[in-house]
Amino acid sequence: MNIDNLAKIDLNLLVILQVLLEEQSVTRAASRLHLSQSALSKSLNRLRSTLDDPLFQRTAHGLKPTAHAIQLGEQLPQILQTLHQLTQPPTFEPASSNQHFSFSMVESAYETLLPYFIGTLLHDAPNVKLDSYVWTEKSMQDLQLGQIDFGIAGRDTHPQADLKIEQLPDGIEHQTLFKDKQVCLVRQDHPMLAIIQSPQWNLANYLTMSHVQVRCEGNDWWALDYHLAEQNLHRRISTTVPDFYGAASICAYSDLIFTLPSSFARHAVKLYPLVQVPLPFEFMPMAYVLLWHERNSQAPGHLWLRNIICESVAKAVNQSDV
């Protein structure tokens, strides 16, 4: 396709040619197009010059199209329909769409958030394709580059946390899905359980214990560790693992204590012989946030999917406190 040559063509002339082919009369075509017969005749002359063909012959019964005009008439309706569609605002019909969406989510979101929106999403849009990946230290860059459509990440509200709303990269939009507090897990027959479940459970006892930690986005420290470090205090982290299920399993079969978001802890106690106990000191909550690039903010498919996620999670939070 030669773009330079195409740029010389007035596309309005194609509309005029289609109407002339349908009406085969300058008078009727001019009336339909709200043009004077003189203006339409000038447009027809421009068409003849552009296409290097007379296009129509005048007869006693009106205009008779040439063979080239007839050939063009076989293609014009589809061409004009395509041009019309290009001028229309984008739309998204969930029931018939086969659009492809990609997510990058923190591991805990697969258990705590995905079940709340995946059913509604696939019910309303059964033909969409979803690809999901674990959120890593590279996922924010993937969002910026358009390699993924959405991110669901945990955002610590501590000032030294790596992921803070006020420090999101340029172009990244967000919506907070819900906030969650930190709790602890220990095995059901843990030797410290009597103290943990008593009024004597405090920060000093917590710091004497050995901890299992999940490495998030390549970081061994969480916001909790920065908070303690400000007081010149440190947890004794004995084991660091890459995922929450691994940490819960280790916790269930050792004397280690696991500190984690309460939403995931409620699932872990259903799978492992664990007991959930409170964090023995006040600490700010963390938040799960939905992230996307501003280039997709008004795209109908992305907007529909964001609404599904946000509304489904909000409903789940209100009904079950996640």
pLDDT score of 165 more than 60? no
Query: Cβ distance 162 to 116 under 8 Å?
Result: no
Residue 111's domain comprises 100-179+287-320
Residue 317's alpha-carbon distances to 41, 247, 285, in angstroms, are: 68, 25, 15
The alpha carbon of residue 121 and the mean position of all alpha carbons in its chain are separated, in whole angstroms, by: 12
Find the mean pLDDT for residues 210-222.
87
Query: What token pair was written down for 206?
Result: 């917590």
Query: Which CATH number belongs to the domain containing residue 162 in this structure?
Result: 3.40.190.10
Check whether residue 167 and residue 292 sit in a common domain: yes
Domain assignment present for residue 131? The answer is: yes
Is 93 a domain residue? no
Tokens representing 102? 């990609």
CA distances from 147 to 153, 160, 302 (A): 16, 28, 14
Would residue 95 count as lying in a domain? no
The chain-wide mean pLDDT, for the chain, equals 88
CATH number of the structural domain spanning residue 59? 1.10.10.10
**Would you say 254 and 260 are in contact if contact means Cβ atoms under 8 Å apart?**
no
- According to the model, what pLDDT value does residue 160 have? 52
pLDDT for the residue 56: 93
- pLDDT tens string 56-66: 999 888 899 99
- Same domain, yes or no: 57 and 122: no
Residue 14 belongs to some domain of the structure:
yes
- Choice among 152-156, 157-161, 294-298 with the minimum mean pLDDT: 157-161
Q: Between β-strands 172-180 and 286-293, what pairing exists: parallel, antiparallel or unpaired?
A: antiparallel
Query: Mind listing the pLDDT tens digit for each residue in 268-296?
Result: 999 999 999 999 999 988 888 999 999 99
Q: Which two tokens stand for residue 245?
A: 């299920």
Instruction: Assess whether 106 and 76 both reside in one domain.
Output: no
pLDDT, average across residues 294-322: 87
The burial class, CB within 10 Å (0-12 / 13-18 / 19+), for 184 is buried
Give percent of the chain above pLDDT 70.
92
Whole-angstrom CA distances from 19 to 14, 78, 120, 263 are 9, 14, 46, 64
Per-residue pLDDT at 183 exceeds 80: yes
Residue 92 lies in a domain: no
Mean pLDDT of 141-162: 79
**Which residues pair with residue 179 across a beta bridge?**
287
Domain boundary among 18, 51, 86: 86
Helix, strand, or coil (residue 130): strand
Q: Is the pLDDT of residue 322 over 60?
A: no
Say if residue 193 is exposed, middle or buried (CB neighbours under 10 Å; 0-12, 13-18, 19+): middle
Judge if 64 and 203 occupy the same domain: no
User: Does the residue 12 lie in any domain?
Assistant: yes
Q: Is the pTM of this model over 0.75?
A: no
Neighbours of 68 (CB within 10 A): 13
User: In the block, which residue shows the tokens 């080239």?
Assistant: 68
Token pair recorded at residue 240: 């660091």
CA distance 53 to 46: 10
- What mean pLDDT do residues 41-50 have? 91
Q: How many domains does the structure of the chain reveal?
A: 3
